[in-house]
Amino acid sequence: MKTAWTKNRNADSVRSFAYRKGKFMKSKVEFYKAFFEELEKKGFGVAQPSSPDYVVDIQFKGKAIKSPSAYRYEKGIVKNEKMKDVLWKTYAIEDMLRDEVYLGNMVRGKTHSAMHKGEKRHHVPRSEWIVVQGTHEPIVSRELFDAVQAVNEKKIQEHKKKLEKAKGHLKRDNLFKGKIFCGDCGITMGCNVGNHNSKSYYCTNYRENGAMGCVKKYISARKLEKAVLEAVQIHLKIFLESRNAIQSRNKDAEIGKKRKVLEREIKDLGQKEVQYQQKLSSIYLDYKDKLLTVQEYFMLKEKYQATLAELEADSKEKALLLNEMQEDYGEDLELSQAAEQYAGQKIVTPNMVDALIERIEVFAKGRIHIVFRFEDEYRRLLEKKSDMEQEVAN
Ligand SMILES: [Zn+2]
């Protein structure tokens, strides 16, 4: 904290402010003093803050004490009779307990505005406040004041924790955001938060247009999450089991031999491709050297290119076949990564939904259809497994 006396730039303005607002300051101090005098009168001492409940006690008992408004009415400063019996409000007591005026100091610069720079009035960080020490007699000891600040700080931290928790819940609200659609009319489904934070999804089209728009549709988030979780886990189980079955089959010596044959064939195909590319460039040179007519050149060119295309296609097919025979088959698939991460997870999380689900369609009577991501990979792997089983059967 800056102390105004050591800051020449501020000292004069602060002093003149204290002079101008002297009356106000005095009455503020008076209110605070009156508050504690009342507390003492009611048999609640303020000198020794030994109990940990001390501050809470001040705040609780303080609510039975007449507020500054009532005090002003008593003194005839305000005439409105409504003010007569107004008591201290909790937030006002909290503010008061935070005020350094307690310690006999005056605080300036809590807010700041610079209209010439277009800056609106805003709160200034506590570390930048200007504190003028000893402008009046302290009302409470430093010990009590610090005890109050410690309690306040604890309260603030607890409040922050609660807010963060609530944020976590909010995230859960948006679990299927952008991915849930009415199966009957295709519109994005709305999410409704009911009593006790229970959530449900509905067709916005039906809600707005009734039977003219769509079929009546409603599903609780709890039910939907349960169904999605089940479907996801079954999906992943089938995928991983199939992948493992293929991998263990690929460890067979028999498959190992086939792999060797394929590798050889692919290598041969590659060599043939190189040969045909060389042929292609040599006929061009022959044509340039006038050893070939233009017709002959084009005829040969077409022929070689067709052969090259065949070789490439053949090689590609064999490479795919070889890939399916690898002992680590499927591990490079995108679905593999997601499956390994989320298989067995007991709750639906936003990350799980993002990683695995393309869209969810909800039909009447709560029937749901889930479109998973990486469907191609999934289907190919299952086909491979079914082919493999047929091979074994034959
Ligand atoms: Zn609909």
What DSSP letter does each residue of 322-371 carry, written as one string?
A: HHHTSTTTTTTSHHHHHHHHHTT-SS--HHHHHHHEEEEEE-GGG-EEEE
Q: What's the 215 CA to ligand 1 centre distance in angstroms?
A: 6
**Helix and strand tally (H, E) in the chain?**
13, 11
Q: Please state, in angstroms and rounded to a whole number, the distance separating the CA atoms of residues 202 and 217.
A: 6
- For residue 276, how far is its CA from the centre of ligand 1 (angstroms)? 60
State the first-to-last Cα distance of the chain, in angstroms, to the nearest integer: 87
In 337-375, which positions are buried (b, 16+ CB within 10 angstroms) versus exposed (e)? ebbeebeeeeebeeebbebbbeebbbeeeeebebebbbe
Cβ distance 183 to 369 under 8 Å?
yes
Q: Which residue has the tokens 């700041």?
A: 112
Phi, psi of 313 (to 5 degrees): -65, -45
Please report the pLDDT score of residue 62 as a whole number: 74
**185: phi then psi, degrees, rounded to nearest 5:** -115, -10
Provide the pLDDT for residue 194: 78
For residue 173, the model assigns a pLDDT of: 63
Distance set, CA 170 to CA 112, 160, 174, 197 (Å): 35, 15, 7, 10
Tokens describing residue 54: 């001390």
CA of 219 to the centre of ligand 1 (A): 12
For ligand 1, the distance from its centroid to the CA atom of residue 354, given in whole angstroms, is 23
Structure tokens at 278: 């060389």
Q: For residue 389, what pLDDT is reported?
A: 85
Among 164, 105, 91, CA closest to 139: 105
Per-residue pLDDT of the chain (394 residues; tens, 9 = 90+): 444 333 444 444 444 444 344 444 556 677 777 777 777 777 766 545 556 566 667 777 777 777 777 777 777 777 788 878 888 777 777 777 777 777 777 777 776 666 666 666 677 777 777 777 777 777 777 777 787 778 778 878 888 888 777 665 554 566 898 999 999 999 999 988 877 778 899 999 998 888 888 988 889 999 999 999 999 999 999 999 999 999 999 999 999 999 999 999 999 999 999 999 999 999 999 999 999 999 999 999 999 999 999 999 999 999 988 988 999 999 889 999 999 999 999 999 989 999 999 999 999 888 999 999 999 999 999 999 998 888 777 6
**Ligand 1 centre distance from Cα of residue 273 (Å):** 56
Residue 232 Cα, ligand 1 centroid: separation in angstroms?
A: 24
Distance CA 30, CA 96 (A): 12
Rg, C-alpha atoms of the chain:
40
CA 203 to ligand 1 center in whole angstroms: 5
Distance 207 CA to ligand 1 centre (A): 9
Ligand 1: centre distance to CA 200 (Å): 15
Q: Are 63 and 90 in contact (CB under 8 A)?
A: yes
pTM of the entire predicted model = 0.51
CA distance 22 to 145: 23
* 214 CA distance to ligand 1 middle (Å): 5
Q: What is the pLDDT of residue 116?
A: 66
Cα 210 to middle of ligand 1, angstroms: 10
Q: What is the reported pLDDT for 31?
A: 74
* pLDDT of res. 2: 40
Predicted pLDDT of residue 94 = 72
CA of 204 to the centre of ligand 1 (A): 7
Residue 132 has what DSSP assignment? E
In the sheet that 189-193 helps form, which strands lie side by side, from edge to edge? 189-193, 199-203, 218-220
Tokens coding 172? 């859960």
The rounded Å distance from CA 206 to ligand 1 centre is: 6
Angle between the N-to-C axes of helices 221-250 and 375-393, in degrees from 0 to 180, rounded to the nearest 10: 50
Q: What share of the chain is helix, strand, coil (3-state, %, to 5)?
A: 65, 10, 25
CA atoms within 13 A on the CB side of 132: 20
Protein residues near ligand 1, an ion, with CB under 5 A: 182, 184-185, 203, 205, 214
Q: Which residue has the tokens 């709160």?
A: 123
Which residue stretches of 210-293 are H helix? 221-250, 253-288
Bridge partners, residue 87, by sequence = 66
Say how many Å lie between the CA of residue 101 and the centre of ligand 1. Answer: 63
